[in-house]
Amino acid sequence: MQLLRRALLLCATTLAAAQSPSSPPWQIQDSGTTAGLRGIHSVDGTVAWASGTGGTILRTTDAGQHWQRCATPDADKDGATLDFRGIQAWDANTAIVMASGPGDKSRLYKTSDGCKRWILVFRNSEVEGFWDAVQITGRKTALLIGDPLPKVTIEHLKAKKHYHFPLYGTADSGDTWVRLDSNNLFAPSDEEGKPAQSIFAASNSSLLETAHHRWILFVVGGKRASLKLLEFINNPNPVICKQACTVTGGAALPISTGPTAGGFSLAVRDGDSANPVLVAVGGDYQLPEKTLGTVATCTRNANELLSTVFKCEPPTTPPHGYRSTVQWSEQEKLWITAGTNGSDLSRDDGRTWQPLDNGNWNALSLPFLVGPNGRIARLNPAALPKP
């Protein structure tokens, strides 16, 4: 009996230690690389893909116990020079990876054999183009968006709208891509005629689709941080928009502005409901310790039930610095955000935040988090602060 008591005591002590608040909320995994990682996509918590500098692509099929180094796309050409800032996967075998860079350094590659071989499916043909985010939106659909492009016509000059955001879509699992906008996703110009807004390719999470394929939303920064919304028509084909994919709603974001500041990431809770909750994060990446102007919670205007105008409000307690990525955890019923000086959580839709750690992070796809120097971690729910 005494041996049984000792065994039970040891078991209880071990369990308490494993669930102790002093345990790290992020369990570091061995990525096998020192590349800077900015792309991460968890398919189901067991299968996940990551991407980064130097043509680096990683895959796990065992919840991160082992990360496999994938073949580098165009390895015999310039693949090792590409910066893969976004990756999205349908399953353990099929994925698309986005290279971000000026001109034709922005590309999309696809694999259908578990990353043994990659096929170039889309290359940026705009000399001034730069791709920022790619997001899978359905079984065969995905969206891609980039920095503003110049479009100079008499009409644009009169309206002082010289730049526009390019938006692309696929309906065949990434094999072919089509332009969805008609040079009408306008980016305001400054006094010198240059774009006053831009998208940051920091975590591949500035773009999302929600409301049963009826809304496209994205966040921008620069001189005017804002949330932009495009409405889809009710059509079985989810890559057809109202009014040629023009911006039909949105809101100003109470987030820091400037050349290196603005909205960096957007996530949604209850995205298919009539009243979704959106959380946008950002700040100034050159001022990582600055806490003000780093997050906004956006809800539909309560006075206009049929409106797609959002009201975005700052928190009462912000995260403890600039943040480049945010996500809602349905399993844990909380929000998590992260950036170059750590991570935070919120249980009240972004109104108050409490610190999780002080690590250096770039991108989040729960339960995984990635950062520079090959950093990959997995969330340890038992170590999260209690409500």
| pLDDT given for residue 359 in this prediction | 97
Q: Identify the segments of the chain with pLDDT beneath 70.
A: 1-21, 152-161, 212-213, 232-244, 302-308
Q: For residue range 255-288, what is the model confidence (pLDDT) as tens digits?
A: 999 999 999 999 999 998 878 999 999 999 999 9
| Every domain of the chain and the residues it spans | 29-383
Q: Are 207 and 135 in contact (CB under 8 A)?
A: yes
Distance in angstroms (rounded) separating the CA atoms of residues 189 and 340: 30
Q: Is the pTM of the predicted complex or chain greater than 0.95?
A: no
Q: Are 87 and 99 in contact (CB under 8 A)?
A: no
Distance in angstroms (rounded) separating the CA atoms of residues 90 and 177: 17
Q: What is the torsion angle, in degrees rounded to the nearest 10, for the CA atoms of residue 237, residue 241, residue 244 and residue 249?
A: -170
| pLDDT given for residue 15 in this prediction | 39
| pLDDT given for residue 85 in this prediction | 98
Q: Name every residue whose Cβ is closer than 8 Å to that of residue 180 and which is 6 or more positions away in sequence.
A: 143, 167, 168, 169, 239, 241, 244, 245
Query: For the domain with range 29-383, which CATH number is right: 3.30.43.10, 2.130.10.10, 2.40.30.40, 2.170.130.10?
Result: 2.130.10.10
| pLDDT given for residue 192 in this prediction | 76
